[in-house]
């Protein structure tokens, strides 16, 4: 299983807020099966199989283009483990236990 953090940033929209585009991504993710996701203030964390996450990243990157955006900048971080299934909560809990 893998965990991906993705930030999709539409550029040149003439507005500083990207929340309408984030809402579109959130709606798209709700329709997907076989993944878990968590929205945060700087992006979205998605867990699932690596191949699925990479295809999903491509689909999410394309969403703002479908709304007329001319340029999209997407940042992806991918973490894959073979020894256990990662979860964002587990990673945070691990750090908090050491405090």
CA pair distance 97, 75, nearest whole angstrom: 29
Query: pTM for the whole thing?
Result: 0.88
Contacts 24+ apart (CB under 8 A), 62-66: 63/8, 63/21, 63/24, 63/25, 63/28, 64/8, 64/10, 64/21, 64/24
pLDDT given at position 24: 96
Reply yes or no on whether the pLDDT at 86 is more than 70: no
Q: What percent of the chain has pLDDT over 70?
A: 99
CATH class of 2-97: alpha beta
CA pair distance 25, 65, nearest whole angstrom: 12
Return the minimum-mean-pLDDT range out of 3-12, 26-35, 37-46, 77-86.
Answer: 77-86
Residue 1's pLDDT band (cuts 50, 70, 90): confident
CA pair distance 14, 50, nearest whole angstrom: 35
């Amino acid at each position: 299983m893998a965990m991906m953090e993705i930030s999709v940033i539409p550029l040149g929209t003439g507005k500083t807020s990207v929340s309408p585009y984030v809402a579109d991504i959130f709606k798209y993710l709700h329709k997907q099966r076989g993944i878990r996701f968590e929205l945060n203030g700087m992006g979205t964390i998605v867990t699932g199989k690596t191949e699925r996450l990479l295809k999903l990243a491509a689909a999410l990157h394309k969403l703002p283009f479908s709304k007329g955006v001319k340029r999209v900048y997407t940042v992806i971080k991918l973490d894959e483990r073979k020894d256990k299934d990662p979860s964002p909560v587990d990673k945070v809990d691990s750090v908090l236990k050491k405090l």
